[in-house]
Structure 1
């Protein structure tokens, strides 16, 4: 079996980019997740989440749950960037793809990415859902508990189909925006988080944090969770965490792609491909 060195380069560069993304974006990700999963009235808004976290848990409370994405992000981003590169080569043998082709490749990469992203984020969300109490669990305890109580599909992969529903349009839009920005006005384009991706993220976080796995088909339990959110907090509840998501997305995306591109360029010179 011959391994394409371009794919190897993308795997390695994706790992470096993923680590940069976690280190830069995790504090605001914690604020976003807590804003999404908190009971109504627990916080006044994202700024109150930030204030209470710093007050009760200190600065490093913002990095709660980072171990899961930091360990897993190497695999997640490696898979994402390699899948994107491979998808582009499948779609067209020419290096300059149209924006429609870029969107299709991004959607394919997003579908592949969900395989690893779902368990990584499930553990992250459950760690972030602890608020510094004496009964807080370590990552290994959370992983052991989910495996023993619910097994692989209902435990480790909980929230998978919502993650798929989020990743496909999110990365189709993300890569299209990224390529468009590179081609048109590299330093002036905006966020990497389409509205549907945020809405799906709220649903995903709540499903992953629940004590019991969802029942019924993915369509049924996604619709049921959305209905519950609206009943609790109105339509606005579907967009909890919007401001920290947008604030996080720009520096996180910038650091991810800067680290990815620099590493890939270095590896291209090293390997010649």
Structure 2
């Protein structure tokens, strides 16, 4: 008989020994690359919606039409080199940080509650900011270039920024707003993804050890949507901070927030949200499909 305060349910699952999961890290890098390639056009529309001067575009559709008409279809892939080059390091950091965070919030068992998963995701997101901040900065500065004749290449953008402001004020510009964005973003992502998987397992596949790929894709899409809903106004502020070169004061996050609201009202804090949410669905599908197929191939299951 269980003593007071205890339950007689299944025993908690202990943690396996902590090792570096090379297969998962490589598969995650391939998946990240697939996410960038599939999602970049809508990400470019999102960034331009966030950073364009008021009245420059009528909406996301107008951004798409004008970009293709004036700069060609390939302009939608501006800034893709930065996330592609950084995706392996970024995914390695995120994956490792999430695994360590899960152990930190639940030292005794690997059976985390949804709340514990959300907390671990938030901790991993904060750690991921170290890589996400410079990757996002270069991507945004490439995406915000209008006109193919005068566009700078990534290495020129990086060289100019380093010469102008150095590492801390240049390459890592906007680091703290990135921390503020990544923390709720990955809390939402891992929370939404995990909860969706649990519902699929309980409702549709209660006797199966593994979910089919379509369930993972759908769960990833839910996680991606939760990710952006949890952080989008902070992403708008971050994009504007990282695009400009003006000197940042100690309260630059609050200053930029006020500037956004002053210029466009509170609606400006969600400008570009629709293409971002649309992007989350195919991007997440590509991410999890690429991850599962790559992992199966490396482990000899395909």
| Fold agreement, TM-score > 0.5 | yes
2:274 paired with 1:243: yes
Give the Å deviation of 1:196. 4.1
Matched residues in 1 for 2:258 and 2:144: separation? 21
In terms of fraction of residues, the more helix-rich structure is 1
1:159-198 matched pairs, under 5 angstroms: 159-185=174-200, 186=215, 187=218, 190=222, 191-198=225-232
- Whether the 8 Å CA contact 2:184–2:227 is kept in 1: the answer is no
Query: What aligned pairs does 1:34-183 form with structure 2 within 5 A after superposition?
Result: 34-92=48-106, 93-183=108-198
Aligned-partner Cα distance in 2 for 1:114–1:24: 22
Q: How far apart, in 1, do the equivalents of 2:246 and 2:197 lie?
A: 44
Separation of aligned partners in 1, 2:279 and 2:147: 23
Distance in 2 (CA, whole Å) between partners of 1:260 and 1:90 is: 26
Instruction: Tell me the distance in 1 between the aligned counterparts of 2:296 and 2:182.
Output: 26
Q: Alpha-carbon deviations, 1:121-178, whole Å to 9, x = none?
A: 0000000010125322111011001111101111001111111001111101110110
| Worse-superposed segment, 47-56 or 192-201 | 192-201
Find out whether 1:253 has 2:268 as its counterpart. no
Q: Secondary structure at the match of 2:166?
A: helix
Secondary structure (helix, strand or coil) at the match of 2:24 reads helix
**Whose Rg is larger?**
2
CA-based RMSD of the aligned residues comes to 1.9
Out of 206, 215, 228, the residue aligned to residue 249 of structure 2 is 215
Higher relative contact order (CA 8 A, sep 6+): 1
| Preserved CA contact (<8 Å) 2:188 2:230 | no
Unaligned runs of 5+ in 2: 1-16, 201-214
Moved more, 91-100 or 195-204: 91-100
User: Alignment length, in residue pairs?
Assistant: 264
| Alignment partner of 1:23 is 2:32 | no
What is the CA-CA distance between 1:223 and the residue it aligns to? 1.0
Equivalent residue number for residue 24 of structure 2:
10
Q: Displacement, 1:4?
A: 5.0
Structure 1 residue 63, shift from structure 2 partner: 0.2
Q: Does 1:230 align with 2:244?
A: no
**What is the TM-score normalised by the length of structure 1?**
0.90
Q: CA deviation at 1:81?
A: 1.8
Task: Single out whichever of 115-124 and 94-103 deviates more from structure 2.
Answer: 94-103
